[in-house]
Structure 1
Amino acid sequence: MRLSTNIVKDYLIVAFEGELDHHTTEEARMKIDSLYYDNNLSNMILDLRKLNFMDSSGIGLIMGRYRNCKERQGDISIVNTNPSVERILRMSGLLKIINMYSNIEEAIDGKRGE
């Protein structure tokens, strides 16, 4: 699994590629949290376009980042999901508490495309 990161405004943007599972979540968590806290950010966008598999460890990673953002009165959004990952997110209930957008620009603006 590979992570690409970028900071835009007060958003840490994290793009996942590959599989997010029990073999990869700890390293991903450490990298994401380090960038998030070291740069004193409050918002996060998770780009899941190139994520082709996620298990319960990945759900846990997303939930933990949700808590981190809420503790800082920030927000977390998910963008660019593929159908299989979106299905897992819906079944887990994450999309009841985390907004999903078509792209990063919509997530930053907080507006979904019509």
Structure 2
Amino acid sequence: MDLEIERQGVNLIVRISGELDMHTVDSLRNKIEERLNEEVGIKNMILNLESVDFIDSSGLGFIIGRYKRISNHGGELKIINVKKSINKVFELSGILKIVDIFDNEQQALKAI
């Protein structure tokens, strides 16, 4: 699992690679929470899943947790670059009812 975090104005762009599962979500959550707590003024988050090949229920819980954290502070969570297999998991789980998916960062940033 690899994680890259970049700030663009009030937006935090999180690029994740590898698997989003019970073995990785705690570390990811801690690193993102640490960044959110350190930096003042972050409102929105974009999760780039271009290099994520697998997601399980822990990964879905991780995404819902980030959604709750961001939306409770008046922000929006957007997801980009989702592979077809993961999009199917999102459809079945109902995540698409609360989070919008875009093809790239520019589209997501325009929608915020």
The verdict on a shared fold, with TM-score over 0.5 as the criterion, is yes
Structure 2 residues without counterparts, runs of 5 or longer? none
Look up the match of 2:109: 108
Look up the match of 1:23: 23
CA-based RMSD = 1.0
Taking only the aligned residue pairs, the percentage that are identical comes to 36
Residues 20-76 of structure 1, C-alpha deviation per residue, up to 9 Å, x if partnerless?
A: 110110000000111122113111000001000010000000000000011110000
| 8 A Cα contact 1:36 1:42, kept in partner | no
How high is the TM-score relative to the length of structure 2? 0.95
- What SS does the aligned partner of 1:86 have? helix
Q: What is the CA–CA distance in structure 2 between the aligned matches of 1:36 and 1:85, rounded to whole Å?
A: 26
Look up the match of 2:75: 74
Q: What is the CA–CA distance in structure 2 between the aligned matches of 1:70 and 1:37, rounded to whole Å?
A: 15
Look up the match of 2:53: 52
Q: What is the CA–CA distance in structure 1 between the aligned matches of 2:34 and 2:86, rounded to whole Å?
A: 25
Letter in 2 for 1:42: K
Q: Which moved more, 1:36-45 or 1:20-29?
A: 36-45
Q: What is the CA–CA distance in structure 2 between the aligned matches of 1:93 and 1:109, rounded to whole Å?
A: 24
- What SS does the aligned partner of 2:82 have? coil
Structure 1 residues without counterparts, runs of 5 or longer? none
Look up the match of 1:8: 8
Size of the alignment, in residue pairs?
A: 111
- What SS does the aligned partner of 1:50 have? strand
Letter in 2 for 1:87: K
